[in-house]
Each structure stands twice: as structure tokens, then as C-alpha cells.
């Protein structure tokens, strides 16, 4: 099993450009997440998808959109990139049920917006 995969690994954008970050998991997990990691700020939740067909805002959703394409794939789109969106982006997934379970993280996408 590959676990959680993310593409691309690195990306440089100019202000105003758009792009989509891709995430896929092969663990048959129901829930998927997008986080951003900034120095001194920890991991902050952007959007999540509790199950196929549903998406909800997290702590810092402004400037982003998401699509849960199917059970495996969850993409994050920046419609008009801004320098404040320079960050490392992580996708994660987990099974859900009556109790909390381990979240499995991808290797991350390092995004720079000039």
C-alpha cells in the first residue's frame, strides 16, 4: 500500500495564478483532511471530508476550495494564489466511527507564492 500520496511535491506560483493540489489514499478511509503548516503555527485544518460526497470548512478555509472526487481522492484548489498562502500543505486520512483513530499523513506539498 502506498498510503497517502500527494502531488506535486513542490510548486512555485505567481500571485493570482491558480492550481490544484492532488491527494489520494488507498486505505479505504472514509475521512480526508487538508492542513497547512506554517512556522510556529502548527497544523491548521483548511477543509475536511467526513465521507464521500461531503465537505466542510475547517479553521482556515478562506481562499481555498475542495472536491471529494471519490472515496480515494480529495483535491485542494487555490483559485487566485496570494503570498499568504505560501505554506506546506498536508493531506491526511482516517477511518471514522464511534471513536477517534490514527490520521495518516501524506508527504506534503511545499508551495511558494511570489
Least distance from other proteins to the Cβ atom of residue 41, Å? 6
100 counts as binding other proteins under rule CB under 8 A = yes
Least distance from other proteins to the Cβ atom of residue 82, Å? 23
| Cα torsion angle, 80, 81, 84, 85, sign | positive
Range in contact with other proteins (rule: CB under 8 A) among 14-22, 62-70, 72-80, 103-111: 103-111
Q: Which of 40, 2, 8, 39 is nearest to 21 (CA)?
A: 8
User: Using CA atoms, how far apart are residues 55 and 25, in angstroms rounded to an integer?
Assistant: 17
Binder of other proteins out of 45, 65, 80, 111 (CB under 8 A) = 45
96 counts as binding other proteins under rule CB under 8 A = yes
- The helix/strand/coil state of 24 is strand
76 counts as binding other proteins under rule CB under 8 A = no
107 counts as binding other proteins under rule CB under 8 A = yes
Tell me the three cell numbers of residue 17.
Answer: 495564478
Amino acid at each position: 500500500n502506498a498510503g497517502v500520496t500527494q502531488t506535486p511535491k513542490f510548486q512555485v506560483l505567481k500571485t493570482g495564478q491558480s492550481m490544484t493540489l492532488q491527494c489520494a489514499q488507498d486505505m479505504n478511509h472514509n475521512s480526508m483532511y487538508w492542513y497547512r503548516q506554517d512556522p510556529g503555527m502548527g497544523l491548521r485544518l483548511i477543509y475536511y471530508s467526513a465521507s464521500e460526497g461531503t465537505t466542510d470548512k475547517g479553521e482556515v478555509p478562506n481562499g481555498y476550495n475542495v472536491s471529494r472526487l471519490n472515496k480515494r481522492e480529495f483535491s485542494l484548489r487555490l483559485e487566485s494564489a496570494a503570498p499568504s498562502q505560501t505554506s506546506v500543505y498536508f493531506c491526511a486520512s482516517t477511518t471514522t466511527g464511534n471513536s477517534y483513530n490514527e490520521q495518516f499523513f501524506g508527504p506534503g506539498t511545499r508551495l511558494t507564492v511570489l
